[in-house]
């Protein structure tokens, strides 16, 4: 759109709102003659009459009324775009409610968020930790980091941060007592420690003989709703557990845990940052999202996908 055309539209809206060429001209700081010529050029370009003019009043034609509605919508969009860009330049301020995975969030995300809050003194954080799926709208959560597949929710925005690789492992004392599983079917003869169930049958993903991923149902001895507590039970010899490698890498290195069925391991869980979809992102949310994305790109980060022994 040419600059003159935009001004013609502004002049048209001003006359329509004022109901008078004289009043509109005064508000726009131009002469009545110049304003009349501007409207005439617009009508000529559109090929239709926009106003009924009499000596006493100015009213919109049917085409003019429809055109006014479209012009107002277009100008509202432009105003919103300017407000959005203006907000991006503001300092982050206000409270952001964030929900993080328990152990992973405490270990690898919380320190960066604390550092972020020291850089922006007006940024306020409310942080909770949960390994269960929460409803952002119902629970008043602005942003969450989730491990695992996401549902198809059109009200949410998701940005992939990376993925966690998981291993099946047990304590040497347990494996000596119960034996080392050689194939996936052997798991049915073992005690398994799992997270708190969410209504589905407990199973672990492993590759079959054709290299395809399958879910193998497992016998559950202990259900524990915290991954660090699962780790403690596994180290104590309570059974086998399928846990993220970042959680057990030190134990695998020291020998207090031993991984099994490594050649069949196939379980990798995606990690996403999710938030409620809005017309634009407020500065306080923008800096948190950018911090998470930058954290995921740091070499050696626990978000990185192909880091041997990590994720």
Tell me how far CA of residue 46 lies from CA of 33, 43, 67, in angstroms: 20, 5, 10
Is there a contact between 107 and 311 (Cβ–Cβ < 8 Å)? no
Number of H helices, E strands in the chain: 11, 13
In the chain, domain spans = 3-82, 94-163+270-297, 164-268
Phi, psi of 213 (to 5 degrees): -80, 130
Q: Which of 120, 142, 128 is closest to 285 using CA atoms? A: 142
User: Token match 């104590």: residue?
Assistant: 236
CATH class of 94-163+270-297: alpha beta
Query: What is the number of other CB atoms lying within 10 angstroms of the CB of residue 86?
Result: 9
Same fold, 94-163+270-297 and 164-268: yes
Each residue of 16-33: pLDDT tens digit? 888 888 888 888 888 989
Task: Give the confidence band of 138 by pLDDT, cuts at 50, 70, 90.
Answer: confident
Each residue of 169-204: pLDDT tens digit? 999 999 999 999 998 889 999 999 998 765 567 888
The residue that leads in pLDDT, 300 or 209, is 209
Each residue of 78-119: pLDDT tens digit? 877 776 666 555 788 899 999 999 889 998 899 999 999 999
Pick from 82-91, 136-145, 177-186, 271-280: least confident: 82-91
CATH T-level assignment (fold) for domain 164-268: D-Maltodextrin-Binding Protein; domain 2 (3.40.190)
Strand bridging mode 192-194 / 240-244: parallel
Task: Check pLDDT > 60 for residue 135.
Answer: yes
Q: Which of 62, 36, 33 is closest to 50 using CA atoms? A: 62
| 3-state class (DSSP) for residue 54 | coil
User: What contacts 301, CB < 8 A, 6 or more positions away?
Assistant: 108, 162, 295, 307
**3-82 is classed CATH 1.10.10.10:** yes
Is there a contact between 171 and 237 (Cβ–Cβ < 8 Å)? yes
């Amino acid at each position: 759109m040419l600059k003159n055309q935009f001004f013609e539209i502004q002049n048209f809206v001003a006359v329509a709102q004022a109901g008078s060429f004289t009043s509109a001209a005064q508000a726009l700081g131009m002469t009545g003659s110049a304003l009349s010529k501007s409207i005439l050029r617009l009508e000529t370009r559109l090929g239709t009459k926009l106003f009924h003019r009499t000596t006493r009043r100015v009213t919109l034609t049917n085409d003019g009324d429809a055109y006014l509605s479209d012009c107002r919508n277009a100008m509202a969009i432009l105003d919103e775009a300017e407000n959005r860009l203006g907000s991006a330049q503001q300092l982050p301020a206000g409270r952001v409610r964030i929900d993080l995975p328990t152990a992973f969030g405490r270990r690898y995300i919380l320190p960066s968020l604390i550092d972020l809050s020291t850089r922006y003194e007006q940024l306020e954080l409310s942080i909770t930790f949960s390994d269960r799926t929460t409803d952002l709208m119902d629970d008043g959560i602005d942003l969450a980091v989730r491990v695992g597949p996401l549902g198809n929710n059109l009200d949410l925005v998701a940005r992939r941060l990376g993925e966690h690789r998981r291993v099946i492992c047990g304590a040497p004392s347990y494996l000596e007592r119960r034996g080392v599983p050689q194939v996936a079917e052997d798991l049915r003869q073992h005690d398994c420690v799992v997270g708190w169930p969410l209504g589905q049958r407990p199973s672990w993903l492993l590759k079959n003989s054709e290299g395809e991923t399958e879910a193998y149902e497992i016998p559950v001895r202990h259900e524990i709703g915290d991954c660090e507590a699962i780790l403690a039970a596994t180290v104590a010899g309570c059974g086998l557990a399928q846990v993220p490698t970042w959680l057990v890498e030190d134990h695998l290195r020291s020998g207090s845990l031993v991984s099994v069925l490594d050649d069949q391991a196939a379980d990798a869980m995606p990690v996403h940052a999710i938030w409620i979809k809005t017309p634009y992102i407020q500065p306080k949310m923008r800096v948190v999202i950018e911090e998470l994305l930058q954290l995921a790109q740091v070499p050696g980060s626990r978000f990185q996908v192909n880091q041997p022994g990590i994720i």
